[in-house]
Structure 1
Amino acid sequence: MTTTPTPAMPTVMPAHPTRRGILAGLGAAAVGISFSGLAGCKKKPAQTLNFYNWDTYVGKNTLSGFEEASDIGVNMSLYSNNDELFAKLRGGNPGYDVIVPGNDFVQRMARAGMLMPLDHAQLPNMKNILPRFQDAPFDPGRKYAVPYTWLVLGIGYRKSKVDGVPDSWKWVLDSPRYKGRIAVLSDAADLCRLTEIYQGADMNRFDKGALAKVQDLLIRQKDNIATFHDDNGQDLLLSGDCDIVIEYNGDIAQVMREDKDLAFVVPKEGSILQSDQLCIPAGAPNPKAAHAFINYLLSAQAGADIARTIRYPTPNGAALALMEPDYRNNPVIFPPEAALARCQYATYLGEDAYRAFQDTITRVRAA
């Protein structure tokens, strides 16, 4: 992200932006630091919007472009994961206008009464969303959320260090072949669900027996795992610290531009589709400005700027039409349909399931 920093902003940015890169490095003290697209400029906007987002998850001109077009200032604060976002808003909205939860957290927050219904009349740029994203199983009718990005979990790897294409979760979850060179996600829900997929279980059914099998497998595999990473698997690959990692396609696409020895595959057993969503939290102080900001993010130019910066797949058809061939035709950013057909969205399974995911991975890591 290249917006002009406020004095509180850290001056050292990660070499390879991810949704968690800054906060993972700085720790909890970084949460809540703010960015403004017009910081340092003489013009004072007529009003202000508070945007709560993942780190480095906007385009180079996203904040400044909206402010210049609307005369609405944007203060962006950062969170490091969906659980943190949920906890921050659970007791009431402290003043945020737009947030970016993952798809299963849209369900979770909607059921908890934490989201404001969207006024589609104020979002004419919804027409730019690709047909496959116009509706969503986790938010029928797009009542609470519109798509910002979509992504898929898979295996990133260094071609010169692995045997062929590691197209199965076996090589990270159930094999000593790459002992000490494996990195898996620290996110408890995702790691449990991916292991359930590998074991042939239904990841969208809360089954304590299936989780017990997940725990047993991961405990057996633990000695082969170098680290449980906070969404910086692409950096571990690029630095040579690991040779095979569980990571998002967009993150691997970022570093593949710098190192041609890196690659990505969606395993044959299938995987998790995810989509980060733009939502207005209940109690937003400026819902009209929030709608205007979301509508701006759905524009062709803003969407293309975001996609060029973060290299995640865009659900914005008008933005996609503006993108260069090396983005549009990239099979890592846009995996083949045959691979995507084996993937599915994670659904919200209730609070007991989320606690069980956390308890399972806590026991694995303590073993």
Structure 2
Amino acid sequence: MKRLLVFFGGILLVLSVLFISKTWLAKKTETVSAAGKNTVIIFNWGEYIDPELLKTFEKETGYHVIYNTFDSNEAMETKIKQGGTHYDIVFPSESIIPKMIEGDLLLPIDHSKITGLENISSFLMNQNFDKKNHYSIPYFWGTVGIMVNTDEITDGTIHKWTDLWDKQYQNDILMIDGARESIGIALQAQGLSLNEVDKDQVERGVKKLETLRSNVKAVLTDEIKTLMINNDAPIGIGYSGDAAFVMSENPAVQYVVPEDGGAIWTDNFAIPKTASNLEGAYAFINFMLRPENAKQNAEYVGYATPNEKAKALLPKELTENEAFYPQPEAMEQMEHYEYLGRDAVEIYNDLFLEWKLGL
């Protein structure tokens, strides 16, 4: 009898624990669900927004912001595919957007829910990577160009990509660690497109890059800014926003948009398939599109704003600087980075890695 009582007592204890656990989990799920409705989860590049704007957005809307960062389009795409975190807003570059659309990773944007879309620069809208902007809205834009320390290079001879091959610049150049950017420079220096997909043409670009080897001091990313600021190299390849930061710290550095090509890039608002708070996503986009907020963000980040009303609020010495806001005729010579397809991307990456290993 005692054994039976112990047995049934054990069953009752297990059932009680299961009931309590189920009740706790239900309450926990409700808490998480409720938090989700009041939370906007943002996935962006590092140091790519004014933190004060996030605080203001939270105060104005009552939403809580969770802000995560990535360091490459590929890392971001992988995270969205995994779906572990329900990101509500993500910021892909134009070159990855077609791939994300093909992979069903982005939701169409309802333009009727967007306020301020009419303020976006027309030359950045309706591009080939996302016709009619069904899936993306420009967030920042800029160019890829050449930072030159005029204290060390005083003759003003660098105007084109081809100038980088001059023998006088031996061991002087900090090359950007990006296959598309670096091979693109070599392609444009030969009058070719930085969006070449033919393997023979890409190999032609890499062969041209081989002849630049003696002039390359190092292949880097963010470190280029520090080295240029500290006068550790006279020439650095980089994005316009990085150049703006370098110039603010080292007035001797100037930024040159090459006359024989150059590239325009955009990073964009997009809503991933993982989004669980669409209202919050649209609220954040609209908040960031407000001219005063876009202006504040541009001042903090240092990249060109696509928001024309925000641009009008910025200092004229900035917006009239053609290195950062090129004239339309100059932009006609530039190319947008396009998604080239998986096979072509692998060719670029493999050939660029092989080139780097030979340095």
TM-score range, shorter chain: 0.7 to 0.9
2:198 maps to 207
Which structure shows the higher helix fraction?
A: 2
Cα distance in 1 between the residues matched to 2:120 and 2:356: 41
Does the 8 Å contact 1:181/1:241 carry over to 2?
no
Larger Rg: 2
Q: Which digits, 9 at most, give the CA deviation of each residue in 1:125-183, with x for residues without a partner?
A: 212212333422211111000000110001111012123141111233x3332122211
Counterparts of 1:1-367 in structure 2, within 5 Å, are 47-92=38-83, 94-162=85-153, 163-172=155-164, 174-367=165-358
Judge conservation of contact 1:128–1:299 (CA < 8 Å) in 2: no
Question: Post-superposition shift, 1:92?
Answer: 3.4
C-alpha separation in 1, matches of 2:342 and 2:36: 41
Question: Structure 2 unaligned runs (5+)?
Answer: 1-34
8 Å CA contact 2:196, 2:202 repeated in 1: no
**Which amino acid counterpart does residue 216 of structure 1 have in structure 2?**
K
The amino acid of 2:264's aligned partner reads L
Query: 1:118 and 1:125 mapped to 2: Cα distance?
Result: 14
Q: Could you tell me how far apart the structure 2 residues matched to 1:94 and 1:234 are?
A: 32
CA separation of 1:296 and 1:93: change in aligned 2, threshold 3 A:
farther
Aligned to 1:39: none
- Report the alpha carbon displacement of residue 230 of structure 1 after superposing the two structures with TM: 1.1
TM-score for the superposition, normalised by structure 1: 0.83
State how far apart, in whole Å, the 2-side matches of 1:73 and 1:112 are.
29
Q: What is the distance in 2 between the residues matched to 1:266 and 1:233?
A: 17
Q: What is the deviation of 1:219?
A: 2.5
Letter paired with 2:263: I
Aligned pair count reads: 323
Structure 2 residue identity aligned to 1:95: H
- Once residues 155 and 83 of structure 1 are traced to their aligned partners in structure 2, the CA distance between those partners, rounded to angstroms, is 25
Tell me which amino acid in the other structure corresponds to 1:171. D
Unaligned runs of 5+ in 1: 1-43
Structure 2 CA distance, aligned partners of 1:63 and 1:300? Answer: 16
- TM-score, normalization by structure 2: 0.85
Deviation at 1:93, TM superposition (A): 5.7
2-side partners of 1:277 and 1:96: how far apart? Answer: 15
Q: Which moved more, 1:72-81 or 1:87-96?
A: 87-96
Q: CA deviation at 1:45?
A: 10
Which whole-Å CA distance do the structure 2 matches of 1:326 and 1:93 have between them? 45
Which deviates more, 315-324 or 342-351?
315-324
Distance, in Å, in 2 between the alignment partners of 1:189 and 1:269 is 17
Letter in 2 for 1:51: I
